[in-house]
Amino acid sequence: MRKMDNRLKLDSEVRELKLGSTFTNPNPRTVFHTLKYDFKPASVDTSKPATLEVGTNKQVTVTVPHNDSSGVPNTVFKGNQRDYTRKECVLIIDRVTGEI
């Protein structure tokens, strides 16, 4: 099993973790969204934008375009929106400064 610092390409130096206002403020003005999927086809064209639609009953549809040569125009992922728990957070690493 690879260590987390190897996967993130960080050195083993101890760093200060700075908590942002969205972590400490019970009513933040900024919100984040995450997408979780089981697979990503190799034929996805990363140079083209995907679309995300939120429908009724919290249904979410993500349409991801494929390469022109794949023979398939896109892949459609469907799922449901759910509220986050206070245990979830987003870790942002500045690779230039090393700030976390």
E-strand ranges in 1-100 read 51-54, 59-65, 74-80
Structure tokens at 82: 């759910």
Task: Report the SS3 class of residue 40.
Answer: coil
Computed over every residue of the chain, the mean pLDDT equals 80
Confidence at residue 4, expressed as pLDDT on a 0 to 100 scale = 54
Task: Count Cα neighbours of 22 within 13 Å in the Cβ-side half-sphere.
Answer: 11
The model's confidence at residue 7, banded by pLDDT at 50, 70 and 90, is low
Strands 74-80 and 51-54: unpaired
* Residue carrying structure tokens 């979830």: 88
Q: What is the pLDDT of residues 71-82, one digit of tens each?
A: 889 999 999 888
Which sequence spans correspond to the domains of the chain?
A: 35-100
What is this structure's pTM?
0.58
Average pLDDT of span 50-66: 92
